[in-house]
Structures are given as structure tokens and as C-alpha cells.
Chains A and B, each alone.
Chain A
Amino acid sequence: MRAVEVEGLIKRFGDFEALRGCSFNVEEGEVFGLIGPNGAGKTTTLRIIATLLKPTGGVAKVFGLDVERRADEVRQVISYLPEEAGAYRNLSGEEYLRFIASLYSEDVEEMVEEGGRISGLGERLRDRVKTYSRGMVRRLLLAGALMVSPRLAILDEPTSGLDVIYAYEVRRLIKDYAEERGTTILLSSHNMLEVEYLCDRVALIDGGVIIEEGSPGELKESYGAENLEEVFMEATGRG
């Protein structure tokens, strides 16, 4: 079964057209990357799939569920990590994980324990979130998104704003989790090397449309490029 089906997705904000007929599919169990520069339409696409925005036109489905008409059911099977997300500053890390877990499962403690393990925050989980660094908050949020064992994890720029070390840790974390659990992950990034490292398949998005889709290896081969950055530049005619 396909985890995500996106067909001719259009999204307008007033006069501005953020998506202009975007189409791609994500197979169950794969790590799929949506890559493109800032303003390409990555976040808008992910927000529509995460049921936050309604499409102006086209269709988006998650495990066969229409994101617009069956939004409540979609939310039962996804978890979403927004690009510029924060956590409740006055809760401790553990309380935050417990809050998320309570909305997903009866077995809260087991989930919180798993969240603690994924985050790697150890004793710091007992401290208030307001005392955390940006990297620690990102790890906590990622743990919250992954500990609930979603059928589809949507991660918008998961390493956004992190330094090299934290970004490396977060990438490692996602890779290990995907390999261990076989969870479908749909992520976006403007960092082509990150996507190449993490994803089974990628879609290049520019100006609100998908311009190319395939595995990093296939794309590199078809464009005779050394990496996805070169592929993107060639595919968009900027090379």
C-alpha cells in the first residue's frame, strides 16, 4: 500500500501560488525526501499532508485516507515535526513526552521510556524545556514524533538550525530509527547531502512542482552527476 499519494496538488495564499500541481508517491516503509531551495513548496506540501492546510486543488492521501475529508483519521497514523517547532517551555522534557504519549496510547510509560531513549537527553529530561539548548529541544521534539510509532513520520527540515554535531546526531537518529522500525518517513530538506544520506528515494521540488523523482543513485546516474546538488542544478536548468 502506498503511504502517501499526492496528485496535482495546488495551494494558493491569496495571489501567491505556493504549489502548482505537485505530484509524487511514497511507498510504505521507505524514507522519502522532498528536496528543493527555500520557497520551493516543501513545507506547504508537508503541512497539507499533515492536515494543517487545506489544498486549493488536487488530492493528497495518507494510506488511502484523503487528508482533507478524513483529517481526523489521518492524524491517528501520522506524527509531524514542523521546521520551526518548539516545546512547552514550562513543562519538563519528560512531561512533554508524557503529554504527547497520553494522546496516542494507553501504555504511556513505555512510550515515554522509548522517547527518553531516542532523545538521549538522560537526566536532563527532568529539567524544564526552557533550560534546553536549541539542539536539545530538537532532539526532544524528534523523540516525541518518533516514540509514538507512527505509520508515517513527517519531518520538515529535521536538522534545521542545528550545528554540525547536533545535525549529525539527529541524522543518525533518524537513520537508525528507520532501519530498526521500518517506519515510513517523509522528510524535507534543502541540504542535498543530508537527503542523499538518509533517503531511499527523493523528489526534487522547485516553484511548487516536482521536477524529478527517483533514488539518489538513479538520479545521479541519469544526470551524470556526483551528488544531488549537481542533479538539482542540472534538472532546474541552473547548472
Chain B
Amino acid sequence: MAKALLTLISKEVKELLRDPKILLGIIVMPLILFPAMGSAIRVSQRSVSRAVRRMAIAVYNEDGGPASQELIAFLSKDNEVSIIEAENLDEALRRFMEVDSSILLYIPDGYSEKMASGERCMLRLYAHLRRLNMAETGKASSVEQLLMIYGEECSLKRIRRILEEAGEELQPEAVRRPISISYASIMRGVVLDIPPQAIFGVIMSQNLMLPVMIMMMNVFAIQMAATSIALEKEQKTLETLMTLPVGRMTILAGKLCGSILIAIAGAISYMIGFSYYMKSTLGFIPQLTMETLREAGFRLSPLGLALLGAVIFLTLLLSLASSLSIAVFAEDVRSAQSLVGLIYIPMMIPFIILMFTDVDMLPGGLRWLMLIIPYTHAVIASKAIFLDRYIPVLTAVTYMTIFTLTILHITTRIFSTERIITARIRRWRIGRRGD
């Protein structure tokens, strides 16, 4: 039995891996595609940040007073400031369009006077959108931020002067912002000096990554299993296989194991590529938050890890068994791949919906519908494991086990009857004859 199983698994893996479509599409492509996408995004982000770091700012100073000179000196510290000489704003704008800079700061007449008298001053920024890229809009918001910082400094200076004149011994910062807020979060009874948004970021990254990983692995597994059985029909090897001196359960187990191995290889390849992509494009979670969370015990316990493994295994087994029992009815690989598309619908819906909400927050009918779908329980369990809530996890594992065993029973029945030989469903034809 064990030798026969190993022989069958070895044959399955060789057959699938040597199929160029599978090797390229499932193993090689994610390793090339995602890093290439990540690198492209990183290169463009770097070029944007380089462009924003030392900006070329054009200034049309209609005011010419001391306050405007002070503002220009502030901007000149870290940027290339070029002064536009013109008779009026229209001429200044015409000249601005001829120079290399994409940002023009217009300081209107009376700016210095208003600053001196403590009135509110209006400055105007013109962004010249030549190429409509991120760097151009990034520059506009960077200049705006610089002006806000400068405005803050001016405000504090003014408050300090007023306080001195009034003989008050108050902190200008406290006068300007009398309330300051620092966040703490309570999770699993532990108080953490981390804002809830930061924790949400970490949890979201896990909530996002884990279901995505599970979902991708399942997609690969479904494809593998469907291809594996359909190839037997397409290559007309199934009849010979079914008359070999090996049990139908062993043949089924060989197909399940072979498909699992290729699916895992595909998922690893996908995750390597995807994590490189995520690192290239995001990497926004502060290291300190991660370390504080780890120190506070927010990591998977051995029990949690085991349960997570069980959930992933059950999900995979369920997908494979469903895929095999459906693909058996197909005549060839293309028909099989079309048919197993039926499994994607109940699989993707819970993964997508539960990424953003909880099942308890859904309206009654939809909630029950979601709870019938076994994949819903995989997502519920993977979330609950991270929060050490084991009762929903065990409920999910129990439900998924029952569901998977039922599907496996159906698949075994199909494998042990003649339906595996006689069932024939052709690929659904889309389009009209002659199109």
C-alpha cells in the first residue's frame, strides 16, 4: 500500500511538474512576475522621492517685504528656489511655464504688512502638471507641508511675543495646542502603549496575508487536482490506471498527495514572490510596533500553530476532494478547469467579505449562508487563532472536518463506481458558431 502510494505520488508529481503550463504558470511565474512588479514600483517610488527631496521651487514675490524675504530664505535652505522677475502675475505664470520647476509660489502684495500686523495671509501655489505623474503632485504637497511648518513657527513666535508682552509665563506650544493625546490599546487584557491604528495595521497585514496565502494555495490545489484527473482522461490513461492492482482509495490518495505537493510548491513560490512585492511596495509597519507586540506575547502559541496547520490542511483537503469529484465528470483538462471554477465562488466570497468584516456583523440571511460555506470557517478560525479564541477555532475545525469527510466520502464513491470512466461533460462553449 505504502509503496504503491509512493509510486503513484511520484508519477503524479513528475507528470504535473513536467507540464510546461504548470511549471511556468504556477512555480516559475510568481517568482518572476511579483519581484518584477515590486522592483518596478520601487524604482518609480525612489524616483519620486528623489524628485521631492530637493525641489525646484519658483517664487514670484509681488510683496518684496522683509517677511517674504524671510519665507524665501526658509524655503532656500533645502530646495532650489528661483525667483521669477515679472511685472504682474500673468507674466510670472508665463515665465514659470518656461522654466524647469513644476511649482510656483505666489507671494501677493501686502504679505509682509499682514504678517507684521498679525493678520491671516493667503499664499498661492501653482502646480504645473506637465507629465501628470506622482512626482509632480508629490512636490505640490511637499511645498504645502513646508509652508505649514513655516506657518507653525511663525505662529509660535507670535504667541511667544504676545506672552512676553503680557508678562505671562506660559508655554507657547501649550497655548497653541492645549490638548495633546497619547494612545494606548488594550488587547487580550494587556495594556500596550501602541495606538490602535498601528495594531490594526499589524493585524490587518496578518488578516490579509494569511487568507490570501490560504486562498492562493487552494486555487493552486484545485487546479492541480482537476488537471491531474483530467489529464488521465485526456491522455486516455485512466482506464489502464483503474485496472492496475492498486486500490481505488490509494489512487485517490496518490492524486490528493501529488496535488498537495505541487500546490504547496506553488504557494511557496507565490508567497516568496508576493512577500518580495509587499516589501518593495509597503513595509509601512514600524519595527517598534512589531517588537512591542511580540514582547507582549502576541505570537502564535504551539496550540495555535497546530490548529492553524489543521485548518489549512482541512481547507486544502476539502478543495482537493471537491475538485477531484467535480473534475471526474470532465472530458479533458480545459473542461475540468472550467468546471472547477464552480468551487471558486463559495471559496472567494468568504475570503473577500471576511477580510473587511466579521460574520456576526452581517445581516441574518447572509450570515447563515456564509456559515454554511466551509471556507468561511477557515477564515474565522485563522482570525480567532491570533486572538487566542480557541472555541470558535475548534467549532470551525469540527465543522470543516465533517464537511471534508462528507466530500471525501462522495469522491471515494465516485472513484469506486464506473462513473469515473463513463462521466463526460464537455467544456461549455461560449460564443456563436462562425464567430
Q: Which of B62-70, B168-176, B239-247 contacts A (4 or more CB under 8 A)?
A: B239-247
Point out the residue from B3, B10, B14, B421 that lies within 8 Å of A47, measured CB to CB: B421
For window 54-105 of A, CB contacts with B under 8 Å fall at 54, 72, 75-76, 78-82, 84-91, 95, 99-100, 102-104
In the complex, the chain A residue whose C-beta lies closest to that of B239 is A82
Once the chains bind, are B422 and A13 in contact (CB under 8 Å)? yes
Please measure, in the bound complex, the distance between the C-alpha atom of A186 and the C-alpha atom of B358, giving whole angstroms: 64
A53 proximal to B (CB < 8 A): yes
For window 404-421 of B, CB contacts with A under 8 Å fall at 417-418, 421
Once the chains bind, are A52 and B244 in contact (CB under 8 Å)? no
Q: Report, as a range, how many residues of chain A touch the other chain.
A: 20 to 34
Please measure, in the bound complex, the distance between the C-alpha atom of A87 and the C-alpha atom of B421, giving whole angstroms: 16
For window 1-49 of A, CB contacts with B under 8 Å fall at 13, 47
A159 proximal to B (CB < 8 A): no
Query: 1/0 contact trace for B222-247 toward A, CB 8 Å?
Result: 00000000000001110110111111
Given A47-B421, A90-B14, A91-B14: A103 in contact with B239 (beta carbons within 8 A): no
Interface centre among B4, B10, B239, B247 (most CB of A within 10 A): B239
Q: Report, as a range, how many residues of chain B touch the other chain.
A: 20 to 34
Please measure, in the bound complex, the distance between the C-alpha atom of A183 and the C-alpha atom of B236, giving whole angstroms: 26
Once the chains bind, are B237 and A87 in contact (CB under 8 Å)? yes
Interface centre among B15, B19, B243 (most CB of A within 10 A): B243
Once the chains bind, are A87 and B235 in contact (CB under 8 Å)? yes
Give A181 Cβ to nearest chain B Cβ, in Å. 18
A51 proximal to B (CB < 8 A): yes
In the complex, the chain B residue whose C-beta lies closest to that of A54 is B418
Q: Which residues of B contact A86 (CB under 8 A)?
A: 235-237
Once the chains bind, are B15 and A90 in contact (CB under 8 Å)? yes
Interface centre among A50, A78, A88, A99 (most CB of B within 10 A): A88
Once the chains bind, are A52 and B242 in contact (CB under 8 Å)? yes
Point out the residue from B4, B240, B247 that lies within 8 Å of A82, measured CB to CB: B240
Give B414 Cβ to nearest chain A Cβ, in Å. 14
Q: Which residues of A contact B50 (CB under 8 A)?
A: none
A141 proximal to B (CB < 8 A): yes
Give A17 Cβ to nearest chain B Cβ, in Å. 15
Once the chains bind, are B240 and A141 in contact (CB under 8 Å)? yes
In the complex, the chain B residue whose C-beta lies closest to that of A108 is B7
Point out the residue from A76, A82, A104, A128 that lies within 8 Å of B236, measured CB to CB: A82
Point out the residue from A53, A72, A75, A91 that lies within 8 Å of B15, measured CB to CB: A91
Please measure, in the bound complex, the distance between the C-alpha atom of A82 and the C-alpha atom of B3, giving whole angstroms: 25
Q: Which residues of A contact B299 (CB under 8 A)?
A: none
Give B15 Cβ to nearest chain A Cβ, in Å. 5
Once the chains bind, are B243 and A79 in contact (CB under 8 Å)? yes
Once the chains bind, are A85 and B243 in contact (CB under 8 Å)? no
- Residue pairs across A and B with Cβ atoms less than 8 A apart, 29 shown, are A47-B421, A51-B243, A52-B418, A53-B421, A53-B422, A54-B418, A72-B245, A72-B247, A75-B243, A80-B239, A81-B240, A82-B240, A84-B236, A85-B236, A85-B237, A85-B240, A86-B236, A86-B237, A87-B235, A88-B11, A91-B14, A95-B14, A99-B7, A99-B10, A102-B3, A103-B7, A103-B244, A103-B246, A141-B240
Please measure, in the bound complex, the distance between the C-alpha atom of A54 and the C-alpha atom of B422, giving whole angstroms: 11
Query: 1/0 contact trace for B1-41 toward A, CB 8 Å?
Result: 00110010011001100110000000000000000000000
Give A136 Cβ to nearest chain B Cβ, in Å. 15
Give B280 Cβ to nearest chain A Cβ, in Å. 35
Query: 1/0 contact trace for A113-151 toward B, CB 8 Å?
Result: 000000000000000100000000000010010000000
In the complex, the chain A residue whose C-beta lies closest to that of B246 is A103
